[in-house]
Protein backbone atom coordinates (compact mmCIF):
# COMPACT_ATOMS: atom_id res chain seq x y z
CA UNK A 1 0.00 0.00 0.00
CA UNK A 2 1.49 3.31 -1.07
CA UNK A 3 -0.25 5.41 1.54
CA UNK A 4 -1.08 4.69 5.12
CA UNK A 5 -3.01 7.82 5.98
CA UNK A 6 -4.57 8.96 2.73
CA UNK A 7 -8.08 7.73 2.04
CA UNK A 8 -8.04 4.67 -0.23
CA UNK A 9 -4.27 4.56 0.09
CA UNK A 10 -4.27 0.95 -1.05
CA UNK A 11 -5.38 2.06 -4.51
CA UNK A 12 -1.99 3.63 -5.16
CA UNK A 13 0.55 1.14 -6.40
CA UNK A 14 4.27 1.76 -6.13
CA UNK A 15 7.12 0.16 -8.06
CA UNK A 16 7.85 -2.43 -5.41
CA UNK A 17 4.29 -3.73 -5.29
CA UNK A 18 3.65 -7.13 -6.92
CA UNK A 19 0.63 -5.52 -8.53
CA UNK A 20 2.68 -2.90 -10.34
CA UNK A 21 2.06 -2.98 -14.09
CA UNK A 22 4.98 -5.27 -14.67
CA UNK A 23 3.14 -7.17 -17.38
CA UNK A 24 1.72 -4.05 -19.00
CA UNK A 25 -0.40 -3.96 -21.07
CA UNK A 26 -1.62 -7.28 -19.55
CA UNK A 27 -2.36 -5.88 -16.13
CA UNK A 28 -4.14 -7.77 -13.36
CA UNK A 29 -7.80 -6.83 -13.78
CA UNK A 30 -8.33 -6.53 -10.06
CA UNK A 31 -5.93 -3.61 -9.88
CA UNK A 32 -6.00 -2.28 -13.42
CA UNK A 33 -8.20 0.63 -12.35
CA UNK A 34 -5.79 1.71 -9.61
CA UNK A 35 -3.22 4.47 -9.59
CA UNK A 36 0.27 3.49 -10.68
CA UNK A 37 3.39 5.39 -9.75
CA UNK A 38 5.17 7.18 -12.56
CA UNK A 39 7.65 8.88 -10.24
CA UNK A 40 8.08 8.24 -6.54
CA UNK A 41 9.58 10.58 -4.03
CA UNK A 42 10.86 10.40 -0.51
CA UNK A 43 11.85 13.26 1.76
CA UNK A 44 14.42 12.46 4.43
CA UNK A 45 15.80 14.38 7.37
CA UNK A 46 17.49 13.83 10.70
CA UNK A 47 19.87 11.01 9.81
CA UNK A 48 17.68 9.48 7.13
CA UNK A 49 14.34 9.54 8.87
CA UNK A 50 11.43 9.56 6.43
CA UNK A 51 9.58 12.87 6.63
CA UNK A 52 7.14 12.10 3.85
CA UNK A 53 6.69 10.23 0.63
CA UNK A 54 4.45 10.08 -2.39
CA UNK A 55 4.58 10.34 -6.11
CA UNK A 56 3.05 11.09 -9.41
CA UNK A 57 0.29 8.58 -10.02
CA UNK A 58 -1.39 7.77 -13.29
CA UNK A 59 -4.25 5.54 -14.36
CA UNK A 60 -4.03 3.33 -17.38
CA UNK A 61 -7.07 5.13 -18.70
CA UNK A 62 -5.43 8.14 -20.37
CA UNK A 63 -8.60 10.20 -20.03
CA UNK A 64 -8.08 10.35 -16.27
CA UNK A 65 -5.78 13.13 -15.17
CA UNK A 66 -2.80 12.11 -13.06
CA UNK A 67 -2.49 13.12 -9.41
CA UNK A 68 0.56 14.32 -7.53
CA UNK A 69 0.18 13.18 -4.00
CA UNK A 70 2.16 12.68 -0.83
CA UNK A 71 1.70 12.14 2.88
CA UNK A 72 3.69 12.98 5.98
CA UNK A 73 5.05 9.89 7.66
CA UNK A 74 3.57 10.85 11.03
CA UNK A 75 0.11 10.98 9.48
CA UNK A 76 -0.31 14.67 10.21
CA UNK A 77 -0.90 15.89 6.67
CA UNK A 78 -1.04 15.16 2.99
CA UNK A 79 0.00 17.30 0.07
CA UNK A 80 -1.42 17.51 -3.42
CA UNK A 81 0.39 19.55 -6.00
CA UNK A 82 -1.45 21.48 -8.65
CA UNK A 83 -0.40 23.55 -11.58
CA UNK A 84 0.07 27.27 -11.18
CA UNK A 85 0.67 28.74 -14.58
CA UNK A 86 2.93 31.65 -15.25
CA UNK A 87 -0.10 33.47 -16.69
CA UNK A 88 -1.77 33.13 -13.29
CA UNK A 89 1.13 34.68 -11.45
CA UNK A 90 3.15 31.52 -11.24
CA UNK A 91 6.87 31.12 -11.60
CA UNK A 92 8.46 30.57 -15.05
CA UNK A 93 10.18 27.40 -13.85
CA UNK A 94 8.37 26.09 -10.76
CA UNK A 95 4.86 26.19 -12.14
CA UNK A 96 3.16 24.49 -9.25
CA UNK A 97 1.93 24.96 -5.71
CA UNK A 98 1.30 22.48 -2.92
CA UNK A 99 -2.06 22.18 -1.18
CA UNK A 100 -1.32 20.81 2.27
CA UNK A 101 -4.24 19.28 4.13
CA UNK A 102 -4.11 18.77 7.86
CA UNK A 103 -5.52 15.26 8.24
CA UNK A 104 -6.88 15.87 11.72
CA UNK A 105 -9.20 18.74 10.80
CA UNK A 106 -9.03 18.88 6.99
CA UNK A 107 -7.85 22.51 7.06
CA UNK A 108 -5.65 23.47 4.13
CA UNK A 109 -2.78 25.80 3.44
CA UNK A 110 -0.75 26.59 0.36
CA UNK A 111 2.96 26.09 -0.09
CA UNK A 112 4.21 28.51 -2.77
CA UNK A 113 7.28 27.90 -4.90
CA UNK A 114 9.66 30.09 -6.84
CA UNK A 115 12.88 29.53 -8.72
CA UNK A 116 16.04 31.51 -8.05
CA UNK A 117 17.57 34.05 -10.39
CA UNK A 118 20.51 31.78 -11.10
CA UNK A 119 18.28 28.82 -11.86
CA UNK A 120 16.19 30.91 -14.21
CA UNK A 121 19.33 32.03 -15.96
CA UNK A 122 20.58 28.45 -16.35
CA UNK A 123 17.30 27.11 -17.64
CA UNK A 124 15.81 29.96 -19.62
CA UNK A 125 18.32 32.79 -20.03
CA UNK A 126 16.17 34.89 -17.72
CA UNK A 127 17.63 37.71 -15.65
CA UNK A 128 14.71 38.07 -13.26
CA UNK A 129 14.40 36.88 -9.67
CA UNK A 130 16.68 36.82 -6.66
CA UNK A 131 19.37 34.58 -5.22
CA UNK A 132 18.28 35.30 -1.63
CA UNK A 133 21.35 37.30 -0.78
CA UNK A 134 19.46 38.83 2.14
CA UNK A 135 19.03 35.41 3.78
CA UNK A 136 21.46 33.51 5.96
CA UNK A 137 23.05 31.43 3.21
CA UNK A 138 25.63 28.76 3.87
CA UNK A 139 28.77 29.64 1.85
CA UNK A 140 29.37 25.97 0.97
CA UNK A 141 26.41 26.06 -1.43
CA UNK A 142 27.20 26.92 -5.04
CA UNK A 143 23.71 27.06 -6.46
CA UNK A 144 20.54 28.11 -4.67
CA UNK A 145 17.79 26.75 -6.85
CA UNK A 146 14.67 28.26 -5.31
CA UNK A 147 12.49 28.72 -2.31
CA UNK A 148 9.07 27.76 -0.99
CA UNK A 149 7.03 29.36 1.69
CA UNK A 150 3.86 28.91 3.70
CA UNK A 151 2.52 32.30 4.75
CA UNK A 152 3.22 33.18 8.40
CA UNK A 153 4.70 29.76 9.02
CA UNK A 154 7.92 28.80 7.31
CA UNK A 155 10.26 29.28 4.43
CA UNK A 156 12.48 26.71 2.74
CA UNK A 157 15.59 27.54 0.72
CA UNK A 158 16.51 24.84 -1.77
CA UNK A 159 19.99 24.19 -3.06
CA UNK A 160 21.78 21.90 -5.46
CA UNK A 161 23.19 19.10 -3.31
CA UNK A 162 26.30 18.37 -5.35
CA UNK A 163 27.81 15.86 -2.95
CA UNK A 164 27.77 14.76 0.65
CA UNK A 165 30.65 17.05 1.61
CA UNK A 166 28.50 20.01 0.66
CA UNK A 167 25.43 18.69 2.47
CA UNK A 168 27.49 17.95 5.57
CA UNK A 169 28.91 21.47 5.48
CA UNK A 170 25.39 22.87 5.27
CA UNK A 171 24.32 20.75 8.24
CA UNK A 172 27.27 22.00 10.24
CA UNK A 173 26.73 25.62 9.25
CA UNK A 174 23.13 25.62 10.45
CA UNK A 175 23.80 23.24 13.31
CA UNK A 176 21.25 20.74 12.01
CA UNK A 177 21.41 16.96 11.70
CA UNK A 178 22.51 15.52 8.39
CA UNK A 179 19.44 14.53 6.38
CA UNK A 180 20.59 11.08 5.29
CA UNK A 181 21.84 7.81 6.59
CA UNK A 182 25.08 6.21 5.43
CA UNK A 183 23.48 4.44 2.48
CA UNK A 184 21.78 7.48 1.02
CA UNK A 185 24.86 9.59 1.63
CA UNK A 186 26.89 7.10 -0.41
CA UNK A 187 24.28 7.13 -3.17
CA UNK A 188 24.45 10.90 -3.40
CA UNK A 189 28.18 10.65 -4.04
CA UNK A 190 28.18 7.56 -6.25
CA UNK A 191 24.95 7.79 -8.19
CA UNK A 192 23.24 11.16 -7.88
CA UNK A 193 21.30 10.44 -11.10
CA UNK A 194 19.30 7.83 -9.20
CA UNK A 195 17.78 10.47 -6.94
CA UNK A 196 17.83 13.53 -9.18
CA UNK A 197 14.97 15.95 -9.46
CA UNK A 198 15.83 16.75 -13.07
CA UNK A 199 18.87 17.02 -15.27
CA UNK A 200 19.86 20.53 -16.28
CA UNK A 201 22.76 22.11 -18.09
CA UNK A 202 24.03 23.65 -14.87
CA UNK A 203 27.64 23.92 -15.97
CA UNK A 204 26.92 24.95 -19.57
CA UNK A 205 28.43 21.79 -21.02
CA UNK A 206 25.69 21.22 -23.56
CA UNK A 207 23.28 18.44 -24.30
CA UNK A 208 24.44 15.03 -23.18
CA UNK A 209 26.45 16.51 -20.33
CA UNK A 210 23.71 17.78 -18.11
CA UNK A 211 24.14 17.62 -14.35
CA UNK A 212 21.84 15.59 -12.13
CA UNK A 213 20.14 18.14 -9.92
CA UNK A 214 19.62 16.64 -6.48
CA UNK A 215 17.66 19.01 -4.28
CA UNK A 216 18.03 19.61 -0.57
CA UNK A 217 16.33 22.28 1.49
CA UNK A 218 16.75 24.20 4.72
CA UNK A 219 13.55 25.02 6.54
CA UNK A 220 13.42 28.33 8.41
CA UNK A 221 10.86 29.32 10.98
CA UNK A 222 11.06 32.93 12.13
CA UNK A 223 14.36 33.05 10.25
CA UNK A 224 15.78 30.24 12.38
CA UNK A 225 16.89 27.06 10.61
CA UNK A 226 14.88 24.14 11.90
CA UNK A 227 15.38 21.30 9.46
CA UNK A 228 17.68 20.09 6.70
CA UNK A 229 15.95 17.73 4.30
CA UNK A 230 16.91 15.98 1.09
CA UNK A 231 14.72 14.73 -1.73
CA UNK A 232 14.92 11.42 -3.54
CA UNK A 233 13.02 11.15 -6.77
CA UNK A 234 12.78 7.60 -8.07
CA UNK A 235 11.92 6.68 -11.64
CA UNK A 236 10.66 3.30 -12.77
CA UNK A 237 13.94 2.43 -14.44
CA UNK A 238 16.26 3.74 -11.69
- Residue 89: count other Cβ atoms within 10 Å of its Cβ: 8
Count residues near another protein (CB under 8 A). Answer: 61
What is the spatial distance between Cα 147 and Cα 158, in angstroms, rounded to a whole number? Answer: 6
What is the spatial distance between Cα 186 and Cα 231, in angstroms, rounded to a whole number? Answer: 14
118 vs 175 by CB, closer to another protein: 118
DSSP class of 192 = G
Exactly one of 103, 110, 123, 140 binds another protein (CB under 8 A); which one?
Answer: 123
What is the spatial distance between Cα 202 and Cα 212, in angstroms, rounded to a whole number? Answer: 9
Closest to 96 in 3D by CA, of 83, 112, 109, 115: 83
123 vs 150 by CB, closer to another protein: 123
What is the spatial distance between Cα 28 and Cα 17, in angstroms, rounded to a whole number? Answer: 12
What is the spatial distance between Cα 214 and Cα 232, in angstroms, rounded to a whole number? Answer: 8
Specify the stretch interacting with another protein by CB under 8 A; choose among 6-14, 101-109, 113-121, 161-169.
Answer: 113-121
Does residue number 41 form part of the binding site for another protein (CB under 8 A)? yes
CB 116 within 8 A of CB 100: no
35 vs 175 by CB, closer to another protein: 35
What is the spatial distance between Cα 29 and Cα 34, in angstroms, rounded to a whole number? Answer: 10
Q: Supply the minimum distance, in Å, between the C-beta of residue 88 and another protein.
A: 10
Q: Supply the minimum distance, in Å, between the C-beta of residue 214 and another protein.
A: 10
Exactly one of 45, 72, 144, 158 binds another protein (CB under 8 A); which one?
Answer: 158
CB 214 within 8 A of CB 199: no
Does residue number 58 form part of the binding site for another protein (CB under 8 A)? yes
Exactly one of 12, 45, 68, 174 binds another protein (CB under 8 A); which one?
Answer: 68
Specify the stretch interacting with another protein by CB under 8 A; choose among 116-124, 135-143, 177-185, 186-194.
Answer: 116-124
Give 97's strand partners.
82, 112
Does residue number 132 form part of the binding site for another protein (CB under 8 A)? no
Exactly one of 4, 8, 16, 22 binds another protein (CB under 8 A); which one?
Answer: 22
Site for another protein in 165-224 (CB under 8 A): 197-198, 200-201, 207, 215, 217
CB 25 within 8 A of CB 3: no
Tell me whether the omega of the peptide bond preceding residue 25 falls within 30 degrees of 0, making it cis: yes
The residue ranges that bind another protein (CB under 8 A) are 20-22, 24-25, 36, 38-43, 52, 54-56, 58, 60, 62, 66, 68, 70, 79-87, 92-98, 113, 120-121, 123-128, 148, 158, 197-198, 200-201, 207, 215, 217, 231, 233, 235-237
Amino acid sequence: MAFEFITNGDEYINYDSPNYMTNYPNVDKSTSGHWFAFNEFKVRYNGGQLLGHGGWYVKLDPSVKPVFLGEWSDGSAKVEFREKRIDDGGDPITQWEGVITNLSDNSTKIENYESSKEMRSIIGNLTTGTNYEDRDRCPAVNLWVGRSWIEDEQETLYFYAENSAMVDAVAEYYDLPQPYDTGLKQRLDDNPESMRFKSYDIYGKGEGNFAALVVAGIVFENKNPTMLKIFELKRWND
